[in-house]
Amino acid sequence: MTLNPTDQPMPDEGETTDAAAVAAETAAAEGIAAPEAAIEDATGQLPLEAADDARDDTEGEAEGADVTEGGSAGDAEAASEDESAQRRGESTEERLARLEEEGDIAADFLEELLDIADLDGDIDIDVEGDRASVEIRGADQLARMNGSKGELLDALQELARLAVQTRTGSRSRLMLDIGGFRAEHKSSLEVLAEEAVAQAKEGGAPVPLRPMNPFERKVVHDVAKREGLRSESDGDGKDRHVVIYPTD
């Protein structure tokens, strides 16, 4: 049995389509080669398949790679290793300055997007671990456009990362949130993962979950690891999902 969270009402299709068009126009104005998949994802037509497949989230490892359309997981992993090697000698102050710069660049891009779309919202910038963190607060209309699965959020995050890469020349692992969506969504995913863990322990058989994006899979992997169980990602593209295994 595949576990699924409770579905919620989706926003009006015209709203998400308009937001996607604005995001595309803003990216073009900034000289950002936005992947077609990222824009289509905001309309609900396609997931970010290329970026999804590029992340190595097996057995609870953090996603260390993102690629744009046409890239491969191998290319992404190699690029990630190169960037990690370049940053091994980076001091704490240098790392913090780099991540703060990423947040500032992303915030500037998102502020321009909100202005063009005539949408309200305040932008908060922070650093969490080894990632810049940007949140759009007070954006009720944007939050409605985001829907129950966060398709618009994923697309905007990809565009914000590309804005950073365009300015700095380095790939970014920046995390974007809209009105606390990720935090709330993470809590519901943890409950779902805990139910799957309990089912695997009681039934003694692998438990597959529904297809998820990299952020969602990482949350599930973390819960499984915390509970002492093994988890692996299986499937490709939009069908990629986590399977939780009972102890041997």
Token digits for 167? 């300015």
pLDDT of residue 182: 87
Task: Determine how β-strand 175-178 pairs with β-strand 131-137.
Answer: parallel
pLDDT of residue 30: 55
- Alpha carbon distance 154, 175 (integer Å): 10
144 and 89 together in one domain: yes
- Domain assignment of residue 1, yes or no: no
127 and 189 together in one domain: no
- Domain assignment of residue 3, yes or no: no
138 and 237 together in one domain: no
- Among the candidates 180, 197, 221, a domain finishes at 180
Q: Which residues contact 69 (CB under 8 A, 6 or more apart)?
A: 35, 36, 37, 50
- Domain assignment of residue 5, yes or no: no
Question: Residue-wise over 32-41: b if at least 16 C-beta within 10 A, else e?
Answer: bebbebbbbb
Instruction: Confirm if 125 and 104 have CB atoms less than 8 A apart.
Output: yes
40 and 107 together in one domain: yes
- Domain assignment of residue 7, yes or no: no
pLDDT of residue 24: 57
* Structural domain boundaries enclosing 222: 184-245
| CATH number, position 235 | 3.30.1370.50
143 and 42 together in one domain: yes
pLDDT in tens, the chain (248 residues): 566 543 434 444 445 445 555 565 555 555 555 444 444 444 333 333 344 344 434 334 443 333 223 333 344 444 444 455 455 588 999 999 999 999 999 999 999 999 998 998 999 999 988 899 999 999 888 888 887 778 899 899 999 999 999 999 999 999 999 999 988 888 999 999 999 999 999 999 999 999 998 889 999 999 999 999 999 999 998 899 999 999 87
- Domain assignment of residue 35, yes or no: yes
- Among the candidates 143, 163, 180, a domain finishes at 180
- Cα dist from 130 to 94, 172, 223, whole Å: 12, 10, 20
- Domain assignment of residue 83, yes or no: yes
pLDDT of residue 44: 38
- Alpha carbon distance 211, 230 (integer Å): 18
- Cα dist from 165 to 30, 82, 101, whole Å: 12, 15, 11
- Per the document, the length of the chain is 248
172 and 188 together in one domain: no
Cβ count within 10 A of residue 69: 14
129 and 218 together in one domain: no
In the block, residue with structure tokens 């007070």:
138
Task: Determine how β-strand 230-234 pairs with β-strand 131-137.
Answer: unpaired
Work out how many domains the chain is built from and give that number.
Answer: 2
Cα atoms in the 13 Å half-sphere on the side-chain side of 158? 33
160 and 234 together in one domain: no
